[in-house]
Structures are given as C-alpha cells and as structure tokens.
Structure 1
Amino acid sequence: MADLFPHSEPEIIPGRKLTASVTGLYLAARRDFVTEAVDSLDLGFDGIAGDFHTGITRRSGGREPWYPRRTEIRNERQLSIVAADELAIVAERMGIAEVRPEWIGANLLLEGIPMLSKLPAGTLLFFKGGVAVKIDAQNGPCRLAGRAVAERAGMPDVEAGALLFPKAAKRLRGLVAWVEKPGRISVGEEISVRVPEQWIYRP
C-alpha cells in the first residue's frame, strides 16, 4: 500500500492558557490613526465604536500587494494591541526616551503576556466582562507610524526616525485583532488568554 503521508509530520506544540490584564485603552476618535487614552471601549462586531479603524470591511493597502489598492476586504485589523516592555525596546533601539501606545495608534496596552507580538494567529483573548477578541497577525511597523513617533519624540531628523522605526519595531509592534464577542472592556480588566495548538507546516 502506498504511503499516504510521504512527508514527515511537523512537531506539534500543545495549546496553553495564560493570564493578562488591561493597563491602557485608547481610541482614535479623530480622522487620524493616533489614539487618546480612555477608561473603557465599547466593542461591536465592526470593532471599536467611533474608532478610526471601525468597520466590518476595510480598503486594502500596501500590506496586501495581491489586491489592487483600495479593494474592499474583511477588516481583520479592528484593534491594535501592544505591550509596554516591547515598546521600551523599540524606544531604546531608536535612541529616544519612550514610544507611547497612542503615537502608533494602539487601542489596547496589555501586561502579563511574554513576547506579546509573537502570539500566534488564532489566539483568543477572553475579557472578564465577557468580550472575546481573536488575534489575526503581527502588526507590521510602517513609516507612517514611524513619522508619528519621530515627531512626538522630538527627534531632530523626523524622516530618519520614520525610516528607523520599521527596523527598530520589527516583531515588536504588537498585534492586530478582530472582535469575536462584543461588549465593553475597561482599564484594569483581567484577561484569560488561550494560545492554540501550533505547528510548522513543511510539506
């Protein structure tokens, strides 16, 4: 009988549970991605109420070169999630005092998850108040966010800072996610994190 599985099976890493907490919430209520601190956020199936990135769908851009620009696609980038320890590393690499979540359009600042930006796609965040959010992918750093950082940090060469940010923030820029179960989340809220089973697909 022919071997139905000629390739070696990948190593499978079991799923696990972690705990975290919300230390900051931010809303982009203006016509710009830069956010401002708030005490709570109301989330619907279309994302954060009143936020710059709200919507069931969005227009494609440079992150999706396989589509013509401004093609309407599903909005898997409803929320931007970051961690303070990773932003501190980015700031050190850029030679500035800090990178604030607001400057790069973050909506959630979380604490308690090691290597937040490396959580795999499909990870679920269950907030104590009932909201559930699903991670889609890492949030790739771009020059637009880099310019916002350089300007607000007072870097003498804003253009150089804008170019430096994508390199300094690679795999440290946090995550993008979408709302699986709507509701309200608040600063200080506890989160149960469910990391899915993982494997490397090498056919």
Structure 2
Amino acid sequence: MTDLFNNIHGKRIASRKVTGRVRGLYIASGQDFVTQSVDKLHCDHGGIIGDYHYGMTRRAGGREPWYERGTLIRNDRQLSLISVEELEKIATAMGLDVIRPEWIGANIVVEGIADFTLLPAGTVLFFDSGLTLKLNGLNAPCKVAGTSIAQHIGAQNEAMVALNFVKAAKYLRGQTGWVEREGAAEVSDKITVRMPEQLCYAPD
C-alpha cells in the first residue's frame, strides 16, 4: 500500500465539500429538449417527472460510439445543469448579450460553484429541498444546442452560430446527472457539493 501511495503521490486530490445555490429551474415539458422556467422540480429515480428526458433508460447515440445507435442503456443524462457564471462566459465568447438556459435545455442553473463544468464525475449535489443528484461528468457542447441558440436570436447563418457555440462552450457547458435520492429542488435552494477523492490514472 505504501508503494501504491508513493506511485500516486502528487496525482491525488482529496475529497472536498463546497456550497452553491440554485439560480433557476427548468423543465422540458414539450416534445423537444427546450425548457421552460418553473419554481420547483419534482424528481424520482427516473429523473424530473414530466420532463422530455425522463426515464430509467435511454437510447445510445453519438456520444456512445461503442454501442450500436439505439441500444437501450442506463439513463445517466436525466438532468442538464449549468452555472450562471459559465453561461455568461459562453455568451461573451460568442459576442452575445445573453444565452437563456432554456435555449440549450438546461434543467438547473447553479451559482457560486467555481469551475462547475470541471467537477469530477461522481460528485454529489445535495439540495435543501431534499433532492440528491450524482453528476455524470462534463456535458460536451453540441451543434443541436447551438442551432437552438441561433434560432432564438434569429441568426441568418445558423450553422456558423452552432459551430461557434461548440467552440465557445468547450469545458463550460456544464454537467449531466441522474437522481440518486428522490426529492424536490426549489429556486434559491442551497446546494452542498461533495466531491470524491480524485486519483489520476496514468500508467507507464
């Protein structure tokens, strides 16, 4: 065990706890991923009740090239989360006054959590109103969300805006996650963030 510790010395980050707050809550109650603002989200183990992405399972797509498209897999992308600080950075990088979280399908907008997108997979979020979420890892930006932005701002060149979003939102697009403990989240909830111990796997 000592030899193992010596091998990873300098590549270990201890578990930590920080806090943030809910800035906004949104649900996709229609037939696509675009969301609408609400005051409260009710969640069970399938995700947000009544949401477009609700379900214990989902179909594999382009993010899972190791499966045939359409293969039934666990739904580890029940919710989309982004920070208000990072959303503002994306808008600035794209030369826009604002990007509304609804346009890119966000369910929860947080504030006060530094480098939110870079939180490690396995981080757990505890909401004051009772909900617990486990983060699946950073959400890679896609042209679908970028096209939605283009349509909402009335851009003449949708393809260019979509591509700009993919570039501007890299490592800023937020996180996806799934419900670990059923419950609710409300606007202004305090969020307790528990990060797991991180070890960098870098074999010779």
TM-score normalised by the chain length of structure 2: 0.94
Partner of 2:7: 8
Deviates more, 1:148-157 or 1:102-111: 148-157
Partner of 2:93: 93
Tell me the amino acid that sits aligned with residue 175 of structure 2. L
Aligned residue pair count: 199
TM-superposed CA distance for 1:159, in Å, is 1.4
**Does the CA contact (< 8 Å) of 2:8 and 2:199 recur in 1?**
no
**Does the CA contact (< 8 Å) of 2:8 and 2:200 recur in 1?**
no
Tell me the amino acid that sits aligned with residue 9 of structure 1. I
Deviations 1:56-84 (A, max 9, x none): 00000000000010100000000100011
Deviates more, 1:141-150 or 1:128-137: 128-137
1:126-137 matched pairs, under 5 angstroms: 126-137=126-137
Cα distance in structure 2, aligned partners of 1:92 and 1:18? 26
Deviations 1:176-198 (A, max 9, x none): 00000001111111111101111
Cα distance in structure 2, aligned partners of 1:110 and 1:153? 23
Partner of 1:192: 192
| Structure 2 counterpart SS, 1:21 | strand
Cα distance in structure 1, aligned partners of 2:43 and 2:69? 27
Deviations 1:5-34 (A, max 9, x none): 6x9325211111101111100000000000
Tell me the amino acid that sits aligned with residue 56 of structure 2. I
TM-superposed CA distance for 1:156, in Å, is 2.7
TM-superposed CA distance for 1:99, in Å, is 1.1
| 2:107 is aligned with 1:112 | no
| 2:37 is aligned with 1:65 | no
Cα distance in structure 1, aligned partners of 2:177 and 2:157? 32
Task: Give the % identical residues.
Answer: 49
CA RMSD of aligned residues (A): 1.3
Partner of 2:79: 79
Partner of 1:167: 167
Cα distance in structure 2, aligned partners of 1:183 and 1:8? 41
The answer for unaligned runs of 5 or more in structure 1 is none
